[in-house]
């Protein structure tokens, strides 16, 4: 490797490592604030918290790595241009394309590494992270109850002012709300001076012994007048024991269901799952179509049988009447006059039956459509997860070929101006990507397009700045870019001014000169 290549590569890798470490740390701090409610107040070991953050951190790489490549490339090449090192290279016959060659090889290796990371490390880390979250959430209630706040335990909410004891089993000033069968209204309120928790590591039963308190319970009312009186029952107790089943709290999903989450699958697993999901959608559509056809056919057959019976009766009657003429007379009734053949009661019954049948048919159709739509959303999520593994690799190339030429053009190193450009470009990229994914999840566009839309939008920018930098045309005339918009705005302004001038002339009969005022 030549000295110039080693120098450029060392400058870029050093900057990339520093920027990546700083940004990665910032995003990890964001994760701490995001999951603070799950980590706080549960007496978790420090190593458990560190493991939690380490398992969460791999999913930050698809965000941090492109931003780091963009910022470090702008800073590196901006510094080289600012210190006239590029000018010396050009004087020696080394073009920008030649200077980019070693870094292009490095970025290619980095893109392959990021693809492998997204396909292998992130799914496994996501699996372990989800299971660790369940273990933390399923921590024993004696540890889960935090003093000074309400804690949701099954159908109960418990608040204590203070916890004492080696295991935190002694409670002071206990307030407990127990929801009714519906799960929406607090039907029982228990308040006690102190209490004690008794739990076991091998059982899901939580026994709470309360001492010196009151038991309040709402009494169901029978009339509206009784409801206004808000009747309740109050019982004073010296000791009261509450047994709560914590099976739902400590329940974790089976491994098969956990594995089916699309964030935990690699490419081969996603492809297999997509085949199964597509087959399910096709089967659902065929089943819905067959059910609708059978219902309509049964209705048609029943109406046809009724019409045949009526025609046979009418035919026999008509033959007996017109037998002397040896021909049958048929009475044709227009469709809009069919109801006129029935009396008012029969009309009401027929219309009611038809309305109910159509309503049921529409309800079933809408339900089936909603089911298929949910299946399509699930398929779209899997397609998005599949394409994201390729997008992260391409985004490394994209951000590098935006940042490196842009740094050579702006000729500014350091953190100031490069940071401004990097943040603007990356926020635009991230916003477009997020918008595309959300629309694709709702089946508003192809999930493939939704995954790649951000990269497709910024690719012309990469081509443009690369062309400008390699053509030694560092003066990017942004005025030429915005000039059509400025002209359009001026044209609209003139038209609005002329429109209001015309209205003024129509109202006052002549234009008012400012000198006359």
pLDDT digits (tens, 9 = 90+) for 473-499: 544 444 454 566 567 767 887 878 787
pTM assigned to the model: 0.63
What's the confidence (pLDDT) of residue 484? 65
263 three-class SS: helix
Among 11, 76, 74, 80, which residue's Cα sits nearest to residue 417?
A: 74
Strands of 199-312, DSSP E: 205-218, 232-245
Residue 201, phi then psi, degrees to nearest 5 = -70, -20
Q: What is the mean pLDDT of residues 357-379?
A: 80
Sign (positive/negative) of CA torsion 118, 121, 124, 127? Answer: negative
Confidence band of 112 (pLDDT split at 50, 70, 90)? very high
Tell me the C-alpha distance between 448 and 384, whole Å: 7
Name the band, by pLDDT with cuts 50, 70 and 90, for residue 117. Answer: very high
pLDDT at 486 (0 to 100) = 65
> What pLDDT does residue 201 have?
54
Residue 435 neighbours by CB under 8 Å, 6+ apart: 453
Q: What contacts 72, CB < 8 A, 6 or more positions away?
A: 12, 15, 16, 18, 19, 20, 403
Report domain extents, the chain: 3-138+390-470, 145-245, 263-381, 486-516
- The whole-number pLDDT of residue 65 equals 92
Summarize pLDDT for 77-92 with one digit per residue, the tens.
Answer: 888 888 888 778 878 7
């Amino acid at each position: 490797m030549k000295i110039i290549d080693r120098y450029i590569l060392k400058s870029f890798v050093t900057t990339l490592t520093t920027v990546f470490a700083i940004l990665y740390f910032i995003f990890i701090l964001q994760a701490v604030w995001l999951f603070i409610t799950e980590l706080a107040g549960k007496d978790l070991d420090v190593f458990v918290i560190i493991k939690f953050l380490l398992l969460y951190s791999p999913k930050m790489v698809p965000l941090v790595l492109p931003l780091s490549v963009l910022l470090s490339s702008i800073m590196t090449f901006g510094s080289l241009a600012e210190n006239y090192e590029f000018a010396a290279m050009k004087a020696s016959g080394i073009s920008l394309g030649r200077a980019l060659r070693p870094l292009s090889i490095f970025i290619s290796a980095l893109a392959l590494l990021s693809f492998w990371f997204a396909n292998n490390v992130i799914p496994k880390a996501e699996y372990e992270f989800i299971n660790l979250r369940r273990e933390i959430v399923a921590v024993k209630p004696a540890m889960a109850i935090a003093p000074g706040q309400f804690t949701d335990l099954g159908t109960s909410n418990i608040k204590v002012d203070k916890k004492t004891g080696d295991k935190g089993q002694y409670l002071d000033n206990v307030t407990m709300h127990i929801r009714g069968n519906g799960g929406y209204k607090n039907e029982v309120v228990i308040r006690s001076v102190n209490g004690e928790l008794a739990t076991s590591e091998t059982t899901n039963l939580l026994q709470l012994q309360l001492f010196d308190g009151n038991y309040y319970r709402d009494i169901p009312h029978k009339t509206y007048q009784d409801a206004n009186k808000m009747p309740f029952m109050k019982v004073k107790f010296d000791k009261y024991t509450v047994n709560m089943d914590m099976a739902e709290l400590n329940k974790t999903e089976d491994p098969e269901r956990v594995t089916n989450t699309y964030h935990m699958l690699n490419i081969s697993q996603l492809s297999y799952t997509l085949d199964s999901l597509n087959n399910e959608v096709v089967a659902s559509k065929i089943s819905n179509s067959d059910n609708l056809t059978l219902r309509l056919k049964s209705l048609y057959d029943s109406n046809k049988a009724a019409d045949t019976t009526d025609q046979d009766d009418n035919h026999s009657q008509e033959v007996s009447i017109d037998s002397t003429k040896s021909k049958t007379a048929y009475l044709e009734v227009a469709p809009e006059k069919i109801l006129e053949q029935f009396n008012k009661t029969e009309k009401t019954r027929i219309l009611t039956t038809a309305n109910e049948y159509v309503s049921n048919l529409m309800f079933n159709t809408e339900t089936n459509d909603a089911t298929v739509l949910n299946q399509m959303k699930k398929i779209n999520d899997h397609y998005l997860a599949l394409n994201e593994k390729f997008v992260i690799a391409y985004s490394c190339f994209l951000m590098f070929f935006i940042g490196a030429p842009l740094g050579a053009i702006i000729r500014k190193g350091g953190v100031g101006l490069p940071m401004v450009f990097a943040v603007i470009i990356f926020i635009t990229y991230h916003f477009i990507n997020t918008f595309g994914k959300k629309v694709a999840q709702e089946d508003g566009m192809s999930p493939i397009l939704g995954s790649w839309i951000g990269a497709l939008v910024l690719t012309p920018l990469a081509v443009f700045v690369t062309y400008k930098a390699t053509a030694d045309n560092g003066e990017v005339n942004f005025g030429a870019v915005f000039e059509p918009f400025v002209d359009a705005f001026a044209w609209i302004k003139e038209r609005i001014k002329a429109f209001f001038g015309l209205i003024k002339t129509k109202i006052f009969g002549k234009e008012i000169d400012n000198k006359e005022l």
